Protein backbone atom coordinates (compact mmCIF):
# COMPACT_ATOMS: atom_id res chain seq x y z
CA UNK A 1 0.00 0.00 0.00
CA UNK A 2 1.38 3.41 -0.90
CA UNK A 3 2.11 6.21 1.55
CA UNK A 4 1.20 9.00 -0.87
CA UNK A 5 -1.68 10.93 0.69
CA UNK A 6 -2.92 12.01 -2.72
CA UNK A 7 -2.48 8.61 -4.40
CA UNK A 8 -5.45 7.15 -6.33
CA UNK A 9 -4.98 4.03 -4.18
CA UNK A 10 -6.32 6.06 -1.26
CA UNK A 11 -9.49 6.97 -3.11
CA UNK A 12 -9.62 7.55 -6.84
CA UNK A 13 -11.86 10.47 -7.74
CA UNK A 14 -12.01 11.62 -4.13
CA UNK A 15 -12.98 15.25 -3.53
CA UNK A 16 -11.02 16.70 -0.61
CA UNK A 17 -11.96 20.04 0.90
CA UNK A 18 -8.41 21.20 1.61
CA UNK A 19 -7.38 20.69 -2.03
CA UNK A 20 -10.45 22.38 -3.53
CA UNK A 21 -10.85 26.01 -4.61
CA UNK A 22 -13.66 28.12 -3.22
CA UNK A 23 -15.78 27.86 -6.42
CA UNK A 24 -15.45 24.06 -6.27
CA UNK A 25 -16.50 24.05 -2.60
CA UNK A 26 -19.43 26.33 -3.36
CA UNK A 27 -20.52 24.06 -6.22
CA UNK A 28 -20.37 20.96 -4.02
CA UNK A 29 -22.42 22.65 -1.31
CA UNK A 30 -24.96 23.90 -3.85
CA UNK A 31 -25.28 20.33 -5.18
CA UNK A 32 -26.17 19.22 -1.62
CA UNK A 33 -23.12 16.98 -1.32
CA UNK A 34 -22.45 15.66 2.19
CA UNK A 35 -19.22 16.70 3.87
CA UNK A 36 -17.58 14.29 6.31
CA UNK A 37 -15.12 15.52 8.94
CA UNK A 38 -12.58 13.23 10.64
CA UNK A 39 -12.42 14.31 14.28
CA UNK A 40 -9.14 13.12 15.77
CA UNK A 41 -6.37 14.17 18.10
CA UNK A 42 -2.61 14.54 18.38
CA UNK A 43 -1.67 11.91 20.92
CA UNK A 44 1.18 9.54 21.69
CA UNK A 45 0.79 6.14 20.05
CA UNK A 46 3.68 4.22 21.50
CA UNK A 47 7.28 4.20 20.27
CA UNK A 48 6.31 2.88 16.82
CA UNK A 49 3.42 5.06 15.53
CA UNK A 50 3.34 8.82 14.93
CA UNK A 51 1.31 11.15 17.15
CA UNK A 52 -0.89 11.90 14.12
CA UNK A 53 -2.48 8.43 14.21
CA UNK A 54 -5.94 9.56 15.38
CA UNK A 55 -6.46 11.85 12.39
CA UNK A 56 -4.31 10.18 9.72
CA UNK A 57 -6.17 6.85 10.03
CA UNK A 58 -9.75 8.18 9.78
CA UNK A 59 -8.79 10.59 7.00
CA UNK A 60 -7.35 7.72 4.95
CA UNK A 61 -10.46 5.62 5.58
CA UNK A 62 -12.74 8.48 4.51
CA UNK A 63 -10.80 8.82 1.26
CA UNK A 64 -11.46 5.18 0.52
CA UNK A 65 -15.13 5.49 1.45
CA UNK A 66 -15.47 8.53 -0.82
CA UNK A 67 -14.39 6.37 -3.74
CA UNK A 68 -17.53 4.28 -3.13
CA UNK A 69 -20.02 7.04 -2.27
CA UNK A 70 -19.69 10.65 -3.40
CA UNK A 71 -19.05 13.09 -0.57
CA UNK A 72 -16.57 15.80 0.30
CA UNK A 73 -13.78 14.64 2.59
CA UNK A 74 -13.53 17.56 4.95
CA UNK A 75 -10.44 18.95 6.66
CA UNK A 76 -9.50 16.70 9.56
CA UNK A 77 -9.55 18.05 13.11
CA UNK A 78 -6.09 17.31 14.44
CA UNK A 79 -6.56 18.27 18.09
CA UNK A 80 -8.96 16.50 20.43
CA UNK A 81 -9.98 16.20 24.07
CA UNK A 82 -7.58 15.23 26.85
CA UNK A 83 -5.83 11.87 26.74
CA UNK A 84 -6.65 9.55 29.63
CA UNK A 85 -4.32 6.85 31.05
CA UNK A 86 -6.68 3.90 30.62
CA UNK A 87 -7.53 4.62 26.97
CA UNK A 88 -4.84 6.87 25.50
CA UNK A 89 -1.86 6.60 27.80
CA UNK A 90 -2.48 9.92 29.53
CA UNK A 91 -1.39 13.53 29.50
CA UNK A 92 2.01 12.80 31.04
CA UNK A 93 3.44 11.64 27.69
CA UNK A 94 5.51 14.16 25.69
CA UNK A 95 4.08 14.87 22.25
CA UNK A 96 0.40 14.68 23.16
CA UNK A 97 -1.38 17.98 22.43
CA UNK A 98 -4.89 18.20 23.90
CA UNK A 99 -7.69 20.72 24.23
CA UNK A 100 -9.88 21.37 27.23
CA UNK A 101 -13.51 20.36 26.71
CA UNK A 102 -14.80 23.92 26.34
CA UNK A 103 -12.21 24.76 23.67
CA UNK A 104 -12.84 21.52 21.80
CA UNK A 105 -16.61 22.00 21.83
CA UNK A 106 -16.29 25.63 20.72
CA UNK A 107 -13.98 24.64 17.86
CA UNK A 108 -16.45 22.10 16.47
CA UNK A 109 -19.35 24.50 16.98
CA UNK A 110 -17.53 27.17 14.96
CA UNK A 111 -16.58 24.67 12.26
CA UNK A 112 -20.17 23.50 11.85
CA UNK A 113 -21.45 27.06 11.55
CA UNK A 114 -18.79 27.85 8.94
CA UNK A 115 -19.73 24.82 6.87
CA UNK A 116 -23.39 25.82 7.09
CA UNK A 117 -22.51 29.40 6.10
CA UNK A 118 -20.75 27.95 3.05
CA UNK A 119 -23.95 26.14 2.13
CA UNK A 120 -23.52 22.55 3.33
CA UNK A 121 -26.73 21.01 4.66
CA UNK A 122 -25.56 17.44 5.26
CA UNK A 123 -22.62 17.07 7.63
CA UNK A 124 -21.04 14.03 9.27
CA UNK A 125 -18.66 14.19 12.23
CA UNK A 126 -16.62 10.96 12.26
CA UNK A 127 -14.68 10.74 15.52
CA UNK A 128 -11.74 8.36 15.98
CA UNK A 129 -10.18 9.51 19.27
CA UNK A 130 -11.80 7.59 22.16
CA UNK A 131 -11.78 10.52 24.59
CA UNK A 132 -13.74 12.76 22.20
CA UNK A 133 -16.91 10.83 23.04
CA UNK A 134 -19.85 13.10 24.01
CA UNK A 135 -17.82 16.25 23.33
CA UNK A 136 -18.56 15.87 19.60
CA UNK A 137 -22.28 15.42 20.18
CA UNK A 138 -22.61 18.55 22.35
CA UNK A 139 -21.63 21.16 19.70
CA UNK A 140 -23.64 19.28 17.07
CA UNK A 141 -26.66 19.48 19.36
CA UNK A 142 -26.18 23.20 19.96
CA UNK A 143 -25.76 24.02 16.27
CA UNK A 144 -28.71 21.84 15.30
CA UNK A 145 -30.93 23.91 17.57
CA UNK A 146 -30.01 27.01 15.59
CA UNK A 147 -30.15 25.35 12.15
CA UNK A 148 -32.85 22.65 12.29
CA UNK A 149 -32.93 22.26 8.50
CA UNK A 150 -29.33 21.00 8.50
CA UNK A 151 -28.77 17.29 9.11
CA UNK A 152 -25.75 16.54 11.31
CA UNK A 153 -24.72 12.93 11.86
CA UNK A 154 -22.44 12.28 14.84
CA UNK A 155 -20.42 9.05 14.60
CA UNK A 156 -18.61 8.41 17.88
CA UNK A 157 -18.40 4.65 17.25
CA UNK A 158 -15.77 4.77 14.54
CA UNK A 159 -15.61 1.01 14.10
CA UNK A 160 -18.30 -1.55 13.35
CA UNK A 161 -19.18 -4.53 15.51
CA UNK A 162 -16.79 -7.27 14.39
CA UNK A 163 -18.29 -10.71 13.99
CA UNK A 164 -16.81 -13.81 15.62
CA UNK A 165 -14.89 -14.83 12.51
CA UNK A 166 -13.19 -11.44 12.22
CA UNK A 167 -12.36 -11.35 15.93
CA UNK A 168 -10.74 -14.77 15.64
CA UNK A 169 -8.50 -13.49 12.85
CA UNK A 170 -7.70 -10.18 14.52
CA UNK A 171 -7.36 -11.38 18.11
CA UNK A 172 -6.70 -15.14 18.23
CA UNK A 173 -5.59 -14.77 21.86
CA UNK A 174 -8.73 -12.81 22.85
CA UNK A 175 -10.02 -9.27 22.31
CA UNK A 176 -8.79 -6.91 25.06
CA UNK A 177 -11.50 -4.30 24.38
CA UNK A 178 -11.36 -1.06 22.41
CA UNK A 179 -10.09 1.06 25.32
CA UNK A 180 -6.95 -1.07 25.63
CA UNK A 181 -6.56 -1.30 21.84
CA UNK A 182 -4.56 1.92 21.89
CA UNK A 183 -1.50 1.75 19.58
CA UNK A 184 -2.04 -2.01 19.49
CA UNK A 185 -3.34 -4.48 16.90
CA UNK A 186 -6.01 -2.31 15.24
CA UNK A 187 -4.13 0.95 14.81
CA UNK A 188 -0.77 -0.69 14.11
CA UNK A 189 -2.30 -2.98 11.48
CA UNK A 190 -4.08 -0.07 9.82
CA UNK A 191 -0.83 1.88 9.68
CA UNK A 192 1.06 -1.12 8.29
CA UNK A 193 -1.52 -1.32 5.50
CA UNK A 194 -2.28 2.36 4.84
CA UNK A 195 0.97 4.15 5.74
CA UNK A 196 3.67 1.45 6.06
CA UNK A 197 6.71 3.71 5.72
CA UNK A 198 5.72 5.66 8.83
CA UNK A 199 5.73 2.63 11.16
CA UNK A 200 8.89 2.13 13.23
CA UNK A 201 8.81 -1.64 12.79
CA UNK A 202 11.80 -2.30 15.05
CA UNK A 203 10.07 -0.55 17.97
CA UNK A 204 6.79 -2.48 18.00
CA UNK A 205 6.21 -4.07 21.40
CA UNK A 206 3.54 -5.63 23.60
CA UNK A 207 2.66 -3.91 26.85
CA UNK A 208 -0.10 -3.81 29.46
CA UNK A 209 -1.00 -1.50 32.36
CA UNK A 210 -0.35 -2.74 35.88
CA UNK A 211 -3.90 -1.69 36.80
CA UNK A 212 -6.94 -1.91 34.53
CA UNK A 213 -9.95 -0.54 36.37
CA UNK A 214 -13.17 1.05 35.03
CA UNK A 215 -12.57 4.45 36.63
CA UNK A 216 -10.10 7.33 36.50
CA UNK A 217 -7.77 8.62 39.21
CA UNK A 218 -6.29 12.11 39.59
CA UNK A 219 -3.49 13.04 39.94
CA UNK A 220 -2.60 10.62 37.14
CA UNK A 221 -1.72 7.15 38.37
CA UNK A 222 1.05 5.86 36.01
CA UNK A 223 0.20 2.25 36.89
CA UNK A 224 -3.05 2.67 34.92
CA UNK A 225 -0.96 3.34 31.80
CA UNK A 226 2.35 1.92 30.55
CA UNK A 227 5.86 3.26 30.12
CA UNK A 228 5.67 2.68 26.36
CA UNK A 229 2.20 4.15 25.77
CA UNK A 230 1.07 0.87 24.17
CA UNK A 231 -1.85 -0.54 26.17
CA UNK A 232 -2.00 -4.07 24.71
CA UNK A 233 -0.31 -6.26 22.10
CA UNK A 234 1.10 -4.50 19.06
CA UNK A 235 3.37 -7.28 17.81
CA UNK A 236 0.33 -9.25 16.59
CA UNK A 237 -0.47 -6.53 14.03
CA UNK A 238 -0.06 -7.29 10.32
CA UNK A 239 -0.71 -5.89 6.86
CA UNK A 240 -3.35 -8.57 6.28
CA UNK A 241 -5.19 -7.53 9.43
CA UNK A 242 -4.94 -3.91 8.31
CA UNK A 243 -6.52 -4.78 4.98
CA UNK A 244 -9.36 -6.64 6.72
CA UNK A 245 -9.93 -3.76 9.14
CA UNK A 246 -9.89 -1.21 6.32
CA UNK A 247 -12.51 -3.14 4.37
CA UNK A 248 -14.79 -3.50 7.38
CA UNK A 249 -14.47 0.10 8.54
CA UNK A 250 -14.95 1.58 5.07
CA UNK A 251 -18.10 -0.54 4.68
CA UNK A 252 -19.22 0.80 8.08
CA UNK A 253 -18.78 4.40 6.92
CA UNK A 254 -20.62 3.71 3.66
CA UNK A 255 -23.47 2.02 5.53
CA UNK A 256 -23.95 5.12 7.69
CA UNK A 257 -24.09 7.38 4.64
CA UNK A 258 -26.57 5.05 2.93
CA UNK A 259 -28.75 4.93 6.04
CA UNK A 260 -28.86 8.68 6.65
CA UNK A 261 -28.74 10.33 3.23
CA UNK A 262 -30.60 9.89 -0.01
CA UNK A 263 -28.38 8.82 -2.90
CA UNK A 264 -26.28 11.67 -4.27
CA UNK A 265 -25.93 12.02 -8.02
CA UNK A 266 -22.30 11.59 -9.00
CA UNK A 267 -22.69 14.58 -11.30
CA UNK A 268 -22.26 16.82 -8.24
CA UNK A 269 -18.84 15.36 -7.59
CA UNK A 270 -18.04 15.27 -11.30
CA UNK A 271 -18.69 19.01 -11.46
CA UNK A 272 -15.89 19.73 -9.02
CA UNK A 273 -13.62 17.25 -10.78
CA UNK A 274 -14.25 19.00 -14.10
CA UNK A 275 -13.48 22.39 -12.53
CA UNK A 276 -10.08 21.10 -11.39
CA UNK A 277 -9.14 19.64 -14.76
- Known catalytic residues are 43, 45, 54, 129, 131, 182, 187
Residue pair 154/134 in contact (Cβ under 8 Å)? The answer is no
Largest Cα–Cα separation, the chain: 56
Q: What is the dihedral of CA 216, 218, 224, 226, to 10 degrees?
A: 130
Specify the DSSP class assigned to residue 148: T
Taking alpha carbons only, the member of 75, 57, 46, 60 closest to residue 11 is 60
Backbone dihedral angles phi then psi of residue 72, each to the nearest 5 degrees: -85, 125
* 3-class DSSP state of 106: helix
- Any residues with CB less than 8 A from the CB of 198 and at least 6 apart, and which? 3, 49, 50, 191
Residue pair 241/194 in contact (Cβ under 8 Å)? The answer is no
Q: Which helix (H) or strand (E) holds 81?
A: strand 80-81
Amino acid sequence: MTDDLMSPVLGAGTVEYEWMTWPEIAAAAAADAPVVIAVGSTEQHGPHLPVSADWVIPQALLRLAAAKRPFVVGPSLRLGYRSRPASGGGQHFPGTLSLRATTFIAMIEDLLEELIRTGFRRIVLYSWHFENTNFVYEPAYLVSGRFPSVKIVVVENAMPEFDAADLEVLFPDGFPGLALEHAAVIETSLFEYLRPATVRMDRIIDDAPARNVPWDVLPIDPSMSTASGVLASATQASVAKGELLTERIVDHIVSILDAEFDPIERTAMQLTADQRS
